[in-house]
């Protein structure tokens, strides 16, 4: 139960920051391209990469609770794209290149198919 609370607190702040930063970036653009979402996804990748990079060093500095709060919670609430990329890097660091490629491209393809299926189902119901 403690872990769920820790993740929830991080997600609360990450989700709030995602909304605020995305809206701020998008308000600075004049074309209909999702720069806000892209900025958040890239920033989330930078944050989780930085945190994980520090923690992967010998004797990582993050306690299990801090890791849950910052990576799973905050970065997960900020953007799941960061976790997706971080897991891909984890597979790469393990030199499991086949699984890395299957995971990255499979997730993108299946995610696209799932969104299209969701749109189709919504259209059928509405």
Alpha helical stretches, state H, the chain: 2-27, 35-56, 64-67, 76-78, 80-93, 97-125
Does residue 50 lie within any of the structural domains? yes
Does residue 20 lie within any of the structural domains? yes
Rounded CA separation 78/16 (Å):
8
How high is the pLDDT of residue 56?
67
Give the residue numbers of the binding site.
76, 79
Q: Please, what's the largest Cα pairwise distance for the chain?
A: 55
Q: Using the structure block, give the residue that is written with the tokens 């749109």.
A: 119
Does residue 98 lie within any of the structural domains? no
Low-confidence ranges of the chain (pLDDT < 70): 56-59, 126
How high is the pLDDT of residue 32?
82
Does residue 45 lie within any of the structural domains? yes
Does residue 105 lie within any of the structural domains? no
How high is the pLDDT of residue 120?
85
How high is the pLDDT of residue 126?
63
Q: What is the chain's alpha carbon radius of gyration, rounded to the nearest angstrom? A: 17
92 Cβ partners below 8 Å, 6+ apart? 100
Does residue 84 lie within any of the structural domains? no
Range of the domain at 73: 2-79
Spatial contact of 52 and 71, defined as CB atoms under 8 Å apart: yes
Q: Using the structure block, give the residue that is written with the tokens 């696209």.
A: 112
Give the residue numbers of the binding site for Na(+).
76, 79
**Could you give the number of structural domains in the chain?**
1
Could you tell me what percent of the chain has a pLDDT over 90?
Answer: 61
Does residue 101 lie within any of the structural domains? no
Does residue 121 lie within any of the structural domains? no
């Amino acid at each position: 139960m403690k872990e769920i609370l820790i993740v929830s607190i991080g997600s609360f702040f990450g989700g709030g920051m995602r909304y605020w930063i995305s809206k701020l970036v998008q308000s600075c653009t004049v074309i209909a391209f999702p720069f806000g979402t892209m900025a958040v996804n890239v920033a989330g990748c930078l944050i989780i990469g930085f945190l994980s990079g520090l923690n992967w060093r010998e004797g990582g500095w993050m306690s299990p609770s801090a890791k849950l709060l910052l990576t799973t919670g905050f970065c997960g609430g900020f953007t799941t794209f960061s976790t997706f990329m971080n897991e891909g890097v984890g597979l790469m660091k393990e030199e499991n290149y086949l699984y890395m490629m299957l995971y990255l491209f499979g997730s993108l393809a299946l995610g696209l198919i799932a969104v299209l299926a969701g749109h189709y189902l919504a259209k059928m119901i509405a």
